[in-house]
Amino acid sequence: MRLSSIISGGVNTVAARRDGRLYDLRKLEPDLPDGLDRVIMGGQLDRALRLAAKVDASAEIDPAKVKYRPLIERPGKIICIGRNYAAHAREGGVEPPTYPEVFFRGPTSLAAHESGLLRPKCSDKFDYEAELVVVIGKTAKHVRAADALDVVAGYSICNEGTIRDYQRKSSQWTIGKNFDRTGALGPEMVTPDELPAGAKGLRIMTRLNGQVLQDDNTDNMIFSVPVLIEHLTECLTLEAGDVIISGTPQGVGYARKPPVFMKAGDTVEIEIPPIGILRNTIVDE
């Protein structure tokens, strides 16, 4: 199943896409929470999925008339993994990590599918990063890798946009990863039953103005989705609605010769074919 957070007719709602058609689930049950984050955090994902399975023409809406919101607008935690592809670590001049490199983003850093990503006034070094997203569906602590996929609600796509010069102003990456509207999340969450276990074996790409700049496979992640969940829950409690952004492959802009950074007017697409395409334009602050 495919679920998204959208605005339809000026109203926030949760949509399901089936056979290329889009359906407003709150047309069937108006008391359903009006965002996918609130559906998941409120323990109502199963209810939303049941509604999505029985949609009819009364709930259909025109995809051309909707506006996407960030898939999970206010996650409790946005947990990002650095250098989770060996070739990406090496293109940055370091050896691949032996333990996940973890950092956090805040909700105000997120933008929606088909919206403008904001290049800030203070920098022209705005880089793209294609990443697989893991959406957590239930509380999890001390979870073994063998059981980890039981806590996954679904998968999506992120452009984990980074302001590279600010990322390197200190030993911590946080500031370069948290400029407003620099990372996009969406457009849909795809439930695990539609994908290989752990979202393994999926092609992951970035296209900037139609040119392919990243092209890899999630098989090449150093720490797979189950292993990441095991490591993370050894330390912290994952909660419903939390998001794990699992790392980017090689081909990022700063490592190219000459470097390639996003600028106003550019169109950037992140594609993981079974999940979809996340598309954004770049605008100046």
Report the percentage of the chain scoring pLDDT > 90: 100
pLDDT of residue 237: 98
Total-model pTM: 0.98
Report the percentage of the chain scoring pLDDT > 70: 100
CB 133 within 8 A of CB 199: no
Which burial class, exposed, middle or buried, applies to 243 when counting CB atoms under 10 A from its CB (0-12, 13-18, 19+)? Answer: buried
Q: Provide the token pair at 51.
A: 């509604």
pLDDT of residue 187: 98
- Give Rg (Cα) of the chain: 18
Which tens digit of pLDDT belongs to each residue from 241-279? 999 999 999 999 999 999 999 999 999 999 999 999 999
